[in-house]
Amino acid sequence: MFCNHANAQQQTQEQKQLALARQFMQGKEYEKAIPILKELYDYAPFDKDAYNEYLDALLLATRYDDAEALVLYMSKIRREDPTVLIDLGNVYALAGKKKKAAEQFDLALEKVSGDDFNTLKIADAFAHLGNNEYAIKTYKRARVLMQNQYLFGTQLALLYGKEGNTEDASNAMMDVLTTQPNELDNIKSSLLQLIDGDDKKLAIVHKQILKRISGDPSNPYWNELLTWMYIQKGDYEGAYKQITAIDKNLGESGERVLRFGDNIAAEGQYIIALKAYQYIIDKGPEQQMYELARLGKIKTLVAQLEMKKPVDPLLLKEVLREFHDCFTAYPQYFTSPLVRIYAKVQARFAGNVDTAIAALEKAIAAPNVRNDFIGYCKLDLGDYYILKDKVWDATLLYSQVDKDFKEDQLGEEARFRNAKLAYYRGDFTWAQTQLSVLKASTTELIANDALYLSVLITENTPADSNLVPLMRFAVADLLLFQNKTKESDILLDSIATHFSESALQDDILMQRSKIALEEGRNADGIAFLETIVTKYGDDVLADDAVYKLASVYEEQLKDIPKAITYYEKLITDFPGSTFIQIARVKYQKLKLNKAAS
C-alpha cells in the first residue's frame, strides 16, 4: 500500500512539473522550461513524449548542440527507430547545416522497407516537421519497393495539395479511385476542396481526368468523374452528353441518367433534366427506369411552371396532358403524393379549384391509404376551400388534422394554418395565442413563419387600438393567397398611402414585390425589394429581401454577377440570417461556374 501511495504521489508531482513547464513554453520562457523537462526526461528516457517535449524546448531555445547530443544519445537507445534520424536531420536543418540534414533524411529514407506501418511512421515524422518533400519521397519509395504505383494515393494527394501541386494532387486522388472505386464520392469532395473555386486548378483537374479516360476508356468511373466535372463548370449540356454516352457504351437501363436528371433538376437545371428523363422514356416502357423517368419529367415540368411568371399557357397545357397520361397508365398514383401536385396545378395555375378538390376528395376516400397522406390532403383541401371563400370548411379540416396528429408535425402545420386563418379574419388575439406556442416548433419553417406572423401582429396592434391598417393588410394577404393579385396590390398601395406612418411599410413592399414577380414584372419586384434593403435595412425583412434579390437575379434574369453580389451581401451583412447556409452554397457554386466560363 505504501508503495502504491508513493507512486501516486510521484505521478502527481510529475504532472504538476509538466504543467508548469508547458506554462513556461506557452510564455516562450524556454530556459525556465528546459531544466524541468530535462528532469522529467532523465526520469523516463524511454518515454517518447518526455523526449519530444524536451527536444522541442531545446530547439525553440536554439540550443542546437544540446539538442544534437540528446538525439545522438536517443539513437543508441532506439537503434531501429528511423524517426530518430529524422529528428537529427531536423536539428541540423534548424542549425543551418543543410548538407548534414539531407544526409540524415536520406538515411531515414533508406529505412523504408515497403511495410505499411513503417512507411506511414516515417512519412508522418517528415510531415510533422513540415518536410512534405521527404514525406512524398517516402511514399514514392514505398510504391517502387512494393511495385504498386497506386499505393498511398490519399496521403500523397494531401501532401501535394499542401505543396500547391494541383496536378500531382489530383493525379494521386485518381490513383485511389483506380483501386477503390467505392471512394468516388469522397474523391469528388476532395477534388472540390482542391479546386477551391480557382479556374486554373479546375482546368488542371479536367486535363487529368481526360488523360485517365484516354488511357483507360472502358472504365466508367473516369467518365462519371468527367460528368461531375462538367457540372462543376456549369456545362450541363456537356454533362448530359457524357452521362448518356456512358449509358450507351455500357448498355445500362438508364439508372445513371435518371440519377443525373434528379440531381440537376434539384439544382434548377430543368431543360437538361427534362432531356435526361426523355432519353430514358424514349427507351420504351419495358425499361426498368421508365416509370420513374415519367414521374421525374412531370415534377420537373411543374417546377418549370412554378418558375415562369406569369403562367405559361402552353407549358400548363403540357403539364396537364402529362398528368392525364400518367394517371391513365398508372392509376395507382391517384392515391400517392403525385395527386397533391396535380391538385396544386389545377387550383393554383389552371384556376380549376373544383377539379383540385374533387381529386383530393377521391384520394382521401380511397381504401388502404396512409393516415399521414390523408392528413396532408386535408390540409391542401382546406387551402383550396379558402380559394372558394369557404373559410369555415377550411378551419374544420385544419382542426381535424390538428386533432388526428396532435403530437406530429402535421398537427403543428394544421395549427399554424388555423392561426393564419384567424389572422385573415382579423381575430388577432386568438391567432397570437396559437402562434406563441408554434414559435417553439421543432420544425424550423413553421417556427420561423409563426415568429414572423406573431411579430407582424405585435408591432401593428398599437396602444390606441387602431387596427385598421393591420386588418386591411390581412385582407390583402388573404387576397394574395386566393390568387387575386391585382385586388391585393391595389389594397396594399392604398394602405401604404393612407397609413404612411404605419410599421407595415416594409411588409407592404415585400408583398408587392411578390405580386410583381408573380405577374412577371421583374423590374417592379426588384425595385420594391431594393427599397426594403435601403430604407429598412435594420428591420426583420431585410435579409429576406437580399436573398430574394439574389434569387431573382440568378434564376429569372440569369444575371450571375448581380446574384453573386447579393449573396455576398447576405453573407457579410446578415450572418445570423436563416438563409445563410444556402446562400454560402449558392455563392460558392456561382463563383466556381463564373471562373470556369
Task: For 99-115, write each residue's pLDDT tens digit.
Answer: 999 999 999 999 998 78
* CA gap 345, 73 in Å, rounded: 82
Q: Considering just the CA atoms, what is the radius of gyration of the chain in Å?
A: 34
* CA gap 434, 381 in Å, rounded: 21
- What are 353-379's pLDDT values in tens digits? 999 999 999 999 999 999 999 999 999
Q: What is the DSSP letter of 552?
A: I
Residue 6's pLDDT band (cuts 50, 70, 90): very low
506: three-class secondary structure by DSSP: helix
* CA gap 247, 253 in Å, rounded: 7
- Using an 8 Å Cβ cutoff, are 591 and 564 in contact? yes
pLDDT at 149: 84
pLDDT at 597: 57
Q: What is the mean pLDDT of residues 431-450?
A: 88
- Cell readout for 6 is 508513493
Q: Does position 253 have pLDDT exceeding 70, yes or no?
A: yes
The backbone region for 559, taken as left when phi is positive above 0, alpha when psi lies in -120 to 50, beta otherwise, is beta
pLDDT at 91: 92
What is the crossing angle of helices 82-94 and 64-77, to 10°?
Answer: 170
Residue 53's pLDDT band (cuts 50, 70, 90): confident
Contacts 24+ apart (CB under 8 A), 364-370: 366/334, 366/335, 369/335
The amino acid sitting at 585 is V
* CA gap 367, 32 in Å, rounded: 83
pLDDT at 596: 55
Per cent of the chain over pLDDT 70 is 97
pLDDT at 594: 65
Q: How many CB atoms lie within 10 A of CB 460?
A: 20
Q: Does position 5 have pLDDT exceeding 50, yes or no?
A: no
Q: Which of 48, 50, 78, 60 is nearest to 24 (CA)?
A: 60
The amino acid sitting at 168 is D
pLDDT at 2: 41
Q: How far is CA 20 from CA 13, 25, 221, 545, in A?
A: 11, 9, 55, 55
Q: How far is CA 499 from CA 428, 473, 503, 527, 529, in A?
A: 19, 11, 9, 21, 20
> Cell 513524449 appears where?
49
- Cis bond upstream, residue 45 (ω within 30): no
Position with higher pLDDT, 586 vs 385: 385
Q: Which of 180, 179, 178, 161 is nearest to 170 (CA)?
A: 161
- Using an 8 Å Cβ cutoff, are 414 and 401 in contact? yes
Output the CA torsion sign for 424, 427, 430, 435: positive
* CA gap 268, 255 in Å, rounded: 20
Q: Does position 347 have pLDDT exceeding 70, yes or no?
A: yes
pLDDT at 286: 92
What length does the chain have? 597
* CA gap 208, 196 in Å, rounded: 17
Q: How far is CA 529 from CA 23, 204, 469, 514, 570, in A?
A: 55, 41, 21, 9, 14
| Mean per-residue pLDDT over the chain, rounded | 89
- Cell readout for 553 is 437575379
- Using an 8 Å Cβ cutoff, are 159 and 136 in contact? yes
Query: What pTM did the predictor assign?
Result: 0.72
- Measured between alpha carbons, how far apart are the two ends of the chain, in Å? 76
Looking at the chain, the number of H-run helices and the number of E-run strands are: 32, 0
pLDDT at 245: 86
- Cell readout for 216 is 483507360
- Using an 8 Å Cβ cutoff, are 151 and 138 in contact? no
pLDDT at 7: 54
Query: Which are the contacts of 491, defined by CB distance < 8 A and separation ≥ 6?
Result: 472, 475, 476, 479
